[in-house]
Every structure is written in C-alpha cells, then in structure tokens.
Structure 1
C-alpha cells in the first residue's frame, strides 16, 4: 500500500505536468537500474530496494531481499521487463519534485539515490494472486459485507476495527467493530456511499463517510511529522469530536 512507507506504491496521483528533466546523476542511476533489469540481476537489484516493498493490496509486501528475489518475476514479468529495457531516458523518465524519479507516468518510482521505491505496474501473475486473495478474504467477512468490488484498507485504533471497501458503483463503504470483535461478526455500523478525496501537496488519500449529522474520515499522512501516519476523525456537523491514531493492518 498500503503502502505506509511510500503511498505511491498503491496509487500514483502525479501529473506529468510536474515532471522535470534529469541530471547526470539521475541518468547514471537510471542506467544502472535498466541494466539490472535487462540482465535480470535480481541479487544486485535487491540491494537497491526500499523495504518493505508494498504490492497492490491485498497482496503482502515484499519484506526483505530474499523475498524480493523469490517474487522478482511476479513484479517484473516479461512485458514490464521489455518496457523498462527499451525505455528512453528523455521520453520515459523524469524527476517529480520530492517524489523522486518517475518511469512511464508512475508505473515505477526510483529514489534520487537510485533505490527502487515503488512499482505500480501489476503483472498478470500478481493480479491472479490478488484476485484469489480477495476471494479468500471475502469468505472471512460477515454476510453483510461480502459484496464489494475492491478492498481498500483495514484500520485498527485503540477502540475500533475499521474496514473500507470500494463498491461496484465506485463509492466506498465503511464498517466498524468495537474491539475485540472480528470482521466475521456483525459490524456495529455500516455507512455506504462514501467518497474518496485527496489533500495537500502529497495528494494524501482520504475516505469520507456521512451518517446523519456525523462524518467519518479515514486518512493517510506521509508529510506532517506531528501527525500519525494513519488516523480516523469523527465530526458532528462541522465540529471534530474524535481524532484517533490508527495502525494499517492491510
């Protein structure tokens, strides 16, 4: 994701309008990366990965070098390998401010030191495993929650377990349980028709749900050190009545 080491792993919000040219150091790092991909030097590349290396939720993250080598061909399949190998530095790569070096409109991101930060490309193998995992998760949920299009997140606060799913109509559904209840039990509250919105220069993702005079927000933060990485806020009308730090379970 999801991640949240670097949220761009899960979603890329960056427009090519913000892309900038490459320095000689950038080009050197990109050439090194491309060479590793061309020669399939998995061990060499594994030393340049920022771990945990998140994959498209609900696939588990790649946590270390040995896992990266084992799952290398799931991430870099033949099609993606060819795309990178034949890429043009001036046309396909660009720097995008603090976000790093972008390849192919956000399919892949490198840090400025050449480290691999994120891959948003999803191979057929990964997508097949992802769909199987989604169906596995579906069987563990309460009957009222089994219908959804895509799982989005599961937050855990000191008091609540919170689940957000995307529905077939592209709205979002909020469900929560009082701890220690599990997702197999009936939720304390279900709020349909939620919306996605992004905030700040980092385009942090947020999910908002309205239930009568109450508004619930599940938010991510990668920029403000004073704030937790994940948090849930509850508003009554426009007044904030609850602000809870959360952990991202998946």
Structure 2
C-alpha cells in the first residue's frame, strides 16, 4: 500500500509537470508585482491577495482575516519561503497548470489567474512547533483509548454522529465515532483501525474507507463539487448495499 501511494503521488506530480505551461506575459506581470511585495514585506498588499479564511496545515487553525494574517505573517512567510519567492524568475520558476492555477517551483505555493493566493505548502519551523503543541493538546482532550496517534486528520459532524479520523502512521487511519450528543472524552461507540486513504480524481476530492465485518464506512471530502455540495459526507454500506448516507460538516481539519 505504501509503495502504491508513493507511485500515485509520483504520477500525480508528473501529471502536473506534463500539464505545466510557460507563464503568459500578463500573468508574469502580476507575479512580478507579488515578488516585489514580498521583497518589501508589504503585508497590506499581500493580505489583499488572500481569500479568508486561509487554510493552514491541520490542526493549525486557518487564518481568519486580514488582522490575523498580519499577526501571523512571519509565521507563514518565513525566511525559507521568502527566499524562494524573491529569488524566483516569473518566466522560469512559475508555471500555469490549467484550472489548478499557477505554481511556484514544484508547488511551494499556488496563485490563481486573478493573482489570488490559493495555498502555501511551505511550513515554517514556528508552524511546525505550533502543530506539535496542538497535537499534544488534542491527545489530552480525547478518550484515553484514542490518545495514541501520529496526526489528527479531521473531525466531522453529521446530524447524528461525531466522527474523528486520525493518522496512526504507516498508512493506517483510525475511525472513531460517537452520537452527536456525546463528547470525544467519552468512550467512543465505534472504533475501526486499518482505514485507507483514497484519492478520487485530480481535483482534490478524496475519502477514507474503513471496514469492519460486512460493514464499510466511507468519509468523503468534497474539494471540487457543485455550489450546494456539502463539505463532506458519511456513507455506510452493509454487504455492499448503502444503508446510511448523511452530509457532514468539517468541524476541524
């Protein structure tokens, strides 16, 4: 499984590079302007390029608004990222990748064709420290039987259930659920380990699949969907037949 996921990742990256195109002059123009803004440390100008809330690597909270961005600017734009941006050449280091937008190098950051920052995949030492602190705090705020995990993945809530997905390491994901009225410090009603991650296409949609006996639990995350699509869904199958399907909101991710 690990080898398969590595190969899948390589294929996806190769697909990006094969589809990458030289940056059009009009895009090079606003990328050059953005590079200058970073060189000058112009937080005001950079903040206008961001659509809030701006996601960070879970469990680090999203950047809520402009004031929060200015406060956390040095945490996100560390020396490593600033150097990558300021030393980049708009014509050589930035590429257009179809509907996905414009990427720096091998995806260090993404900007859409309107000049808005889509994502920053660099993680500073300060963010890494914060992430580890938040993970440690989460381990103290769940039922003791669930306190051993590598990283939290997500917490979902449907009309009836609260679901927690954790990465136990080595491509092993754990599903734990409670009735919606219970707390995560309570003993979970159901725990399933050995879950798997499945990428669904190249748009970012994906799901986690968990099996127990003749039951299968599927937590699906919708990144690219219709306007009225929910953020996520829970679907339960018994012997291959769907017996439950509920929309879910992502409480934490």
Q: Could you state the TM-score of these two structures normalised by the residue count of structure 2?
A: 0.91
Q: 1:223 to 1:79 in 2, by over 3 A?
A: closer
Residue-pair matches, total: 238
Once the two structures are TM-superposed, the CA of residue 112 in structure 1 deviates from its matched residue by 0.8
Deviation, 1:18, is 2.3
| In structure 2, C-alpha distance between the alignment counterparts of 1:224 and 1:78, rounded to whole Å | 36
Matches within 5 A, 1:1-250: 14=13, 15-225=16-226, 227-250=229-252
Superimposed CA distance per residue, residues 179-217 of structure 1 (whole angstroms, 9 cap, x where no aligned partner)? 110110110000000000111231412111011111111
Higher relative contact order (CA 8 A, sep 6+): 1
- Gap runs ≥5 in structure 1: 1-12
CA distance in structure 2 between the partners assigned to 1:124 and 1:20 by the alignment: 32
Q: Which residue of 2 aligns with 1:5?
A: none
* TM-score, with structure 1 as normaliser: 0.92
Distance apart, 1:117 and its partner CA: 1.3
- CA shift for structure 1 position 23: 1.1
Distance in 2, Cα, partners of 1:40 & 1:202: 32
User: Deviation of residue 30 (structure 1)?
Assistant: 0.9
Q: Deviations over 1:122-169 (max 9, x none)?
A: 000000011001101110010110000011000000000000000122
Deviation at 1:94, TM superposition (A): 0.8
Q: Structure 2 regions of 5+ residues with no counterpart?
A: 1-11
The CA distance in 2 between the partners of 1:145 and 1:217, in whole Å, is 20
SS of the aligned residue for 2:49 comes to coil
Separation (CA, whole Å) in 2 of partners of 1:20 and 1:93: 9
Q: What is the rounded CA distance, in whole Å, between the counterparts of 1:181 and 1:162 in structure 2?
A: 11
Cα-to-partner distance string for 1:100-134 (whole Å, 9 max, x where unaligned): 11112122111111011111110000000110011
Query: SS of the counterpart of 1:249?
Result: strand
Q: Quote the RMSD (CA, aligned, Å).
A: 1.3
Superposed CA offset, 1:67-120 (max 9, x none): 111100000011110111001223321111111111121221111110111111
